[in-house]
Chain A
Amino acid sequence: EAGVTQFPSHSVIEKGQTVTLRCDPISGHDNLYWYRRVMGKEIKFLLHFVKESKQDESGMPNNRFLAERTGGTYSTLKVQPAELEDSGVYFCASSQGLAGSPGRVEQFFGPGTRLTVL
């Protein structure tokens, strides 16, 4: 079974440019999450999709970030325009299980996209 995949693995852009990151979750996983890790800091939650709906986007830093999950399959995260502080590793994760379930809901992570904004 294929795991969570992310594209690209690395992206180097200049301040003010636009970048779109893609995540393909494990097939059949309704829950999809985006996280970001800035160097030296912890992994931070950005948002959570259940199928195509945004369940929780409380972690999105500002309106320069736009996430979509059309059709409830893959997801994209667009940063426009990119700023220096957006540099970091962007992880995607997916899980089975119902949103709001109090039980164990294991998240499977992708390898991340390393974004560098110059």
Chain B
Amino acid sequence: GQNIDQPTEMTATEGAIVQINCTYQTSGFNGLFWYQQHAGEAPTFLSYNVLDGLEEKGRFSSFLSRSKGYSYLLLKELQMKDSASYLCAVRFPSGGSYIPTFGRGTSLIVHP
């Protein structure tokens, strides 16, 4: 299968910057998503990368290197509400469509 690896847990201070990494097997790659999930809630879409480079959206940015099978999510000016699980999901071909394969998620704890 396609292994998606990301750290289990990270902690950071309010106002700081944190980078959450995600690595994956490159064969069949067709796009990478980042989702945010607060406890007990639905995952919500943050970003999508299919080409190499950095995509910036407000305090959140996502980077992709297809040749290295590597992405990161960068969160700036951290706020307490950013404490959540961050899910990396990579699209691979499946059954004539493209289905995301998820990592286990990175639990981010932001403290004062």
Chain A residues in the interface with B (C-beta under 8 A): 3-4, 33, 35, 40-45, 48, 50, 55-59, 91, 99-112
A residues within 8 A CB of B33?
106-107
Separation of A55 and B43 alpha carbons in the complex (Å): 23
B44 and A48 contacting across the interface, CB-CB below 8 Å: no
B50 and A45 contacting across the interface, CB-CB below 8 Å: no
B95 and A107 contacting across the interface, CB-CB below 8 Å: no
Separation of A42 and B89 alpha carbons in the complex (Å): 10
A42 and B100 contacting across the interface, CB-CB below 8 Å: no
Which of chain A's residues has its CB closest to B104's CB?
Answer: A42
Separation of A107 and B42 alpha carbons in the complex (Å): 11
User: Nearest 7 A-B pairs (CB), nearest first?
Assistant: A56-B95, A109-B42, A43-B102, A42-B104, A99-B97, A111-B42, A109-B43
Given contacts A106-B48, A108-B45, A109-B44, contact A48 B97 (CB under 8 A): yes
Q: Give the number of A-B contacts (CB < 8 Å).
A: 69
Q: Which of B4, B98, B104, B105 contacts A101 (CB 8 A)?
A: B98
Report the interface size for chain B: residues with CB under 8 A from the other chain: 27
Given contacts A56-B95, A104-B50, contact A41 B42 (CB under 8 A): no
Q: How far is the CB of B4 from chain A (nearest CB, A)?
A: 7
Separation of A45 and B90 alpha carbons in the complex (Å): 12
Q: Which of A4, A41, A45, A108 contacts B99 (CB 8 A)?
A: A45
Q: How far is the CB of A51 from chain B (nearest CB, A)?
A: 13
B97 and A56 contacting across the interface, CB-CB below 8 Å: yes
